[in-house]
Structure 1
């Protein structure tokens, strides 16, 4: 999508597909069109051999202010039906994608926007980024994966407090709590995100896909299951050309080249 009217803008450079939520006048609050288009773009990136990393960010001064309440007001649809039709497929698509997903949080991430911010494999925040689990302010339950993601990052008790009190978490506190991996200055944020994503894109794509698969499963599995899965996935990794290239580069004392026509 290239039109300025598109709710999701898509661009690709150096193996990095950047998907930009494009409702800046609403702080990228999510409506059905945005959620469905973003899910479609994520899935399309997964099947594009030219894409090695996906970045999700927001246009303007916000990442995503959560659900656009005006878009669902008066609609003949239950909360459950709405989540199952829009947010849940998106979160599943991101977590199930066999490519690294970077959420580049350039401003406020509230409600379901906070869930989207947290569900990346890597979370990069700008200095002005802010995360708010705002659901309790309108007497709702955190959704779109927040109840699964947040306690795994900060523990049950801190997660409950953030959700119960709808506390605002700024960039430095987010870094301290483990809600993001890096914080970059606002003025260089886009360039810093692209540079980081390109570093990630230069890594062994097949091995990272298997690593993501193993980590996702390990979050809900036992140690014995993880050990067995590692053994199986290690064979898949060892049989791939990336492994031979990595070993050969090590022996030849040069940088490995993991990007080639596949």
Structure 2
């Protein structure tokens, strides 16, 4: 974690992210609130468009794993502060920080998605902007994903010489089929919220002004529901649709470790950070 845990006086943005009366704390790059059975985790790195560095990813995995098991948590809501849900891994932090074993990076991302999929409570994603890279994986791992018309989903990996990870090579085709998934993954083009809903990738699209209230209403309904019945229902649906997700994690991890050490990724990352078009050589 990048900061010590502890309750803080919530900022204006944190007030917006939490219902009145909720307890609010900042934990590293996340803002966490808990009220009436609803645990809301907001990715709060707006200066980086909510890109996720390794510490934030690790903290997110810790929170979902541990808090979902608490009896007073009955639903988890995931959101992003200030517009984007998450633009994926923070390449700037990776480029300027200490070198990290690629396997540690992959295992940390996989742990977050696995924690969402296996949480004993429903997980709801609120997407009001970009959900790209591993940010898309996290949003699509949720049981219910609601978006505004401003939202889009992007498997941006190929644009920087990488392959889909965070389970997205299974999460996406499980929802929209092989052909549409291949288009997203191989072309690296964004899918707008309306098209994502029409394809079956997300649950519903709501007007910007209605999105938060709708997610709050859904979360309240789930929090008041029969916890064990919801847990077993979620488990059954996940087993029926994502039975081979662990195999996907393994394939993605081995492939991504290779690609993270490639010249194409070095060029892709440099091009992204330099805001230019990459020139791939391999």
TM-score bin, normalised by smaller chain:
0.7 to 0.9
Deviation at 1:221, TM superposition (A): 5.7
1:97-116 counterparts in 2 under 5 A?
97-116=119-138
Match of 1:150 among 160, 172, 176: 172
1:202 lines up with 2:224 in the alignment: yes
1:18 lines up with 2:22 in the alignment: no
Partner residue, 1:80: 103
Larger radius of gyration: 1
Unpaired segments ≥5 residues, structure 1: 223-262
**TM-score, normalised via structure 2 length:** 0.74
Match of 2:209 among 178, 187, 194: 187
1:205-220 counterparts in 2 under 5 A?
205-219=227-241
* Secondary structure at 2:68 match in 1: helix
1:168 lines up with 2:190 in the alignment: yes
1:71 lines up with 2:71 in the alignment: no
Partner residue, 2:77: 55
Deviation at 1:78, TM superposition (A): 4.0
Partner residue, 1:95: 117
Unpaired segments ≥5 residues, structure 2: 1-5, 12-25, 245-282
Deviation at 1:220, TM superposition (A): 5.5
Q: CA RMSD in A?
A: 1.8
Task: Count the aligned residue pairs.
Answer: 221
| CA-to-aligned-CA distance 1:58-108 (integer Å, 9 cap, x gap) | 000110000000222264334333211x20111111111110001111210
1:121 lines up with 2:143 in the alignment: yes
| CA-to-aligned-CA distance 1:142-170 (integer Å, 9 cap, x gap) | 00110010011111111011111112111
**TM-score, normalised via structure 1 length:** 0.79
Aligned mates of 1:198, 1:83 — CA distance in 2: 33
